[in-house]
Amino acid sequence: MKVRRTDNGAAARLIAVGEGQAWVEGPLDFSSVPALLKAGDLLLRRPGAFRIDLGGVTAANSAGLALVLEWLDLARSRHLDLRFLNLPDSVRRIAAFSNLEALLPVAEEGT
């Protein structure tokens, strides 16, 4: 998928790692999110259930929450089941503060 360098030079990537599985690595910030959104749009064109593991995220701000919500909206509009693994604590805190945490389908390992 796409690689986008952020202002500090770090790469953010969405990597397909298997059928219905993807891994995100790098920072989720205002510089990296546009390219990640496009990569997610391409990934979520396939039918089926998806698990996106955010365990490789090195930093995240409100742009990271916006990305997760946009991916969720894309999946729902295409009648896909999307779950997130290893949602960063910073994204959880922002979602909780914004009363959005209940909207995030977070899967436990192995589900």
Residue identified by tokens 């009648």 is 79
pTM (2 decimals)? 0.86
Q: What is the pLDDT of residues 7-58, one digit of tens each?
A: 445 689 999 998 999 999 999 999 999 999 999 999 999 899 999 999 999 9
Q: What's 105's DSSP letter?
A: -
Is the distance from CB of 2 to CB of 31 less than 8 angstroms?
A: no
What are the residue boundaries of the structural domains of the chain, listed by start?
1-52+78-87
Tokens standing for residue 32: 């990296």
Confidence of residue 73 (pLDDT cuts 50, 70, 90): very high
